[in-house]
Amino acid sequence: MVVASFVLVTFAAVSAAFHSIQRAMAETAAASGVQVAASGTPGDPNTPDMAGAYAPTKKLLESVMFGTTIEPGPSSPSCGQGIPDATLQVCVYPDGDLVAETIRGRPGFPVPWIDQVLPWNIDVTVEMHQVSYQP
Amino acid sequence: MTRGSPSPLAGEVARSRAGGGVCSGRWSSGQALVETAVTLPILIALFFGFLGAGVAAQGFVDLNTAVYLAAASNVTAPAANLTNPSGPSGEALAQQYANDTFDHTLAHDSLLRKISFGCPGTLADYAAGGTITCSGTAVLEFSKTPLSIAIPFDPTISAQARATRSAYRSVPVP
């Protein structure tokens, strides 16, 4: 009984720590992506570069999202809907004068069957005022 | 009971330790029960402690990110309000950009409640090459989660970020 409890608590601690690392990286990735999105598009400095946010975000996410598919999502807050497990969507969209980036989904877990049980979803949204350029 | 007479319990223990008594199974299951009763609360406290540490780390990261992006918004705001000269000044515009970024980012975290945010600075800090320091404070609301059983208070956390303006601003602030 004690051994079983000990193993359970140890497993819970390790998986919670792993989720914390993944979520912290998602936050960092979203912050780096939204800065690109909030800056200007090449050739049109007053238009946010929505498409440019995906590449830096994906590059950072890949380092900790083992066995997870990372894909671009729709340009709206309805991000990560109807996607399979072990998939994350990166959505960049305007919100008034700000640009928002959302990373949403359920990342893969090192122990395959356990991610069905644990609610380790990732749902991170950051926003930044778009950069404007004046003559 | 007199000092000289052996107690019935002592006899039971002796038989149990010898392994031949009828109470052997009862003794060991009692021992396991006591061990479990002592260990289980500690393990449950550890479990909630790990989860609480994870949620706290998440709150710190979220607040840090919000302040960091707000500082970046502040230094990328226009140096002067050319599009609306009668509107807010360049400094006010920079502060507004930072506030908007901080508020909108923090609004997506259901466990953080804003207490204060600001990027105080002199006029020189808003000039080309100036450095601004932004600070944000928020309450991490454990009371909104089941973790409030183990963590019965809502800690206040804060974060700071510094950002430097480009030295090549189009409109220098006097």
Instruction: For chain B, 174 residues long, give each residue's pLDDT as a single digit of tens.
Output: 445 455 555 545 444 454 445 556 677 778 878 888 888 888 888 888 888 888 899 999 999 999 999 999 998 887 766 666 666 777 888 899 999 999 999 999 989 999 999 999 887 788 778 899 999 999 999 999 888 888 889 999 999 999 998 877 655 444
* pTM (two decimals): 0.82
Which candidate, B13, B38, B39, B41, places its Cα nearest to that of B27? B13
Q: Is B76 exposed, middle or buried (0-12, 13-18, 19+ CB in 10 A)?
A: buried
The conformation of residue B152, written as its DSSP 8-state character, comes to: -
Shortest distance, CA B19 to any CA of chain A (angstroms): 23
Please indicate whether, in this complex, the C-beta atoms of B69 and A128 are within 8 angstroms of each other.
yes
Q: Give the whole-angstrom CA distance, residue A68 versus residue A109.
A: 8
Please indicate whether, in this complex, the C-beta atoms of B78 and A132 are within 8 angstroms of each other.
yes
Q: Which two tokens stand for residue A92?
A: 């960049």
Q: Which residue of A has its CA nearest to B55?
A: A20
Please indicate whether, in this complex, the C-beta atoms of A5 and B43 are within 8 angstroms of each other.
yes
Please indicate whether, in this complex, the C-beta atoms of A5 and B97 are within 8 angstroms of each other.
no
Residue A119, chain B, CB below 8 Å: the answer is no
Q: Give the whole-angstrom CA distance, residue B44 versus residue B169.
A: 57
CB of A20 closer than 8 Å to CB of B58: yes
